[in-house]
Amino acid sequence: MNKTFKLGGLALAAVFALSACNKDENKPAGTAAASGDKTAVASEFSSPIQQTSYAMGMDIGRSLKQVKDAGTEVDLKAFNEALQTMLDGKEPKLTEQKAQEVMMAFLAEQQQKVQAKMIADAKANLEKGQAFLKENGTKEGVKTTASGLQYKVKTEGTGVQPKAADLVTVEYEGRLIDGTVFDSSKQHGQPATFPLNQVIKGWTEGMQLMKEGSEYTFFIPSALAYGENAVSEKIGPNSTLVFDVKLLKVEKAPAGK
């Protein structure tokens, strides 16, 4: 995104580090209304530069809110004083070198917080996932493979059974163990098609158990999913994933592939 005004590199890096601690995305209120009535918004300002200046303030304010939401208070009096000093071209209380040192120390501290939270989340998610799979594995109809993948057959198809290199077309819904939906083919408006050997291990293994027309539910331990990686706002490190999958079509890999 191109922005008219940007925070300095170190300050911006600190904001990103802090916002990583807080996975809840802070979207500005009224975005939909603003985009739907640009004339009304523009009429609230006496000049284009006033509107642009307000947009700059929004940009900085949004970034500082991420800092605040992550647990670090912002002294607005000191912030506004420094802002006015720099705009007026006056001598600031900190030298450029000292300001960089302050921001570097701040960034290092926030990165440590991010790392500590990632480690704590990974441990908690792993323990929750293991407990879930242990109980789930005792439920009627749930089968567990040697790798630890669990699955339940909802409908058994009679069509082609895919191999790892084949293309498959599926309808699916992905959830966390607490029921939170993080992705689905319905959200994208169409089934998904992909090479079976280019997805997470749990999918590659599980899909080869199915035939066209089958509907399975997969319960995928983190080791067969994304492991210790936090891949999205919802999928944290060591997340156990649940997928409802319907296999629509299998396209065999070309000979020699």
What amino acid positions are annotated as catalytic residues?
172, 182-183, 200, 226, 243
| Tokens matching residue 166 | 């084949």
Q: How far is CA 111 from the centre of its chain?
A: 18
